[in-house]
Amino acid sequence: MLIAATIAILVVMIMAIIRAIMGPTFYDRILAVNMFGTKTVLLISLLGFVMGRPEFLDIAIVYALINFISVIGVLHYSDSSVFKRGSQQKK
Amino acid sequence: MDSLLNISSALFLLIGSFLCISGGVGILRFPDFYTRMHAAGVTDTLATAMILIGLMLQNPDGLVILKLMMILLMTLIISPTASHALASAAVHNNLMPELDKKEDNEKVTSSNP
């Protein structure tokens, strides 16, 4: 059952990457990347149990914090006027 | 007792995997940013909680259960905060929901015969 859950999470990560590549707006990409990060936390802890090494949980904790900081940082950048000019030039 | 723990852990992992896959299908198939955010929110909170509880039932070591509780608490606090910041940034930058536009168009066309 652990391996089945790992495969399910890998499938969901592939779906999130597809959405991040073809996302029509900037926010879709950020949403998909955030989802990818939380799924990575789950994948690391599941892999630790599959391989019989629960020390992987420390890496999962650190990854959760890094994911949060990166999403908040990119969103803070999205409020700036430089980003708005760039997105208008793309259209 | 041991087989009971194994069966309940497998059940939790199965429910979590099903919720994850349904959220992944939702993030691909839904038409709008806000509905996609709903699909991602399902996988962020409930599926994560189910899978981590399934892992907690998997081994009886105290320190591992403590670490899993920490991951669960951090995920339950962090991911709604990130979703809130993302939605407020999208609204702040004038990203409108798709269905609202259609309703507004219908209102406009019905009010101007």
User: What does the pLDDT read at residue B99?
Assistant: 62
Task: Give the integer Cα–Cα distance in Å for B18 and A8.
Answer: 8
Per DSSP, the three-state class of A83 is: helix
Each residue's pLDDT tens digit, A16-40: 999 999 878 888 888 898 899 899 9
CB of B86 closer than 8 Å to CB of A31:
yes
Mean pLDDT of the residues in chain A: 84
Interface test with A, best of B15, B17, B76 (most A CBs within 10 A): B17
- The domain spans of chain A are 2-90
Could you tell me which residues come within 8 angstroms of residue B43 by beta carbon, excluding any fewer than 6 positions away? A12, A35, A38, A39, B19, B20, B23, B24
Each residue's pLDDT tens digit, B22-69: 999 999 888 888 888 888 888 888 999 999 999 888 877 788 889 889
Option in B18, B64, B75 nearest A38 (CB): B75
> What is the pLDDT averaged over residues B79-88?
87
Query: Which residue has 């989802």 as its token pair?
Result: A35
ipTM: 0.81
Model confidence at B18, pLDDT cuts 50, 70, 90, reads very high
Task: Give the integer Cα–Cα distance in Å for B47 and B18.
Answer: 8
CB of B56 closer than 8 Å to CB of A44:
no
* pLDDT at residue A14 greater than cutoff 90: yes
* pLDDT at residue B83 greater than cutoff 50: yes
Can you read off the two tokens belonging to residue B65? 């259960």
Q: What is the DSSP string of A16-48?
A: HHHHHHH-SSHHHHHHHHHHHHHHHHHHHHHHH
> What is the pLDDT averaged over residues A55-71?
88
Option in B14, B33, B54 nearest A25 (CB): B33
- Residue whose C-alpha is closest to residue B82's, from A46, A89, A11, A66: A66
Number of H helices, E strands in chain A: 4, 0
CA torsion angle for B10, B67, A14, A47 (degrees, to 10)? -70
User: What does the pLDDT read at residue B97?
Assistant: 77
Q: What is the DSSP string of B46-105?
A: IIHHHHHHHHHTT---HHHHHHHHHHHHHHHHHHHHHHHHHHHHHHHTT---HHHHHHHH
Option in A35, A41, A79 nearest B89 (CB): A79
Interface test with B, best of A38, A50, A58, A81 (most B CBs within 10 A): A38
Model confidence at B91, pLDDT cuts 50, 70, 90, reads confident
**CA of A8 vs chain B CAs: smallest distance (Å):** 6
* pLDDT at residue A91 greater than cutoff 50: no
Could you tell me which residues come within 8 angstroms of residue B59 by beta carbon, excluding any fewer than 6 positions away? A49, A54
Task: Give the integer Cα–Cα distance in Å for B42 and B48.
Answer: 9
User: What does the pLDDT read at residue B21?
Assistant: 92
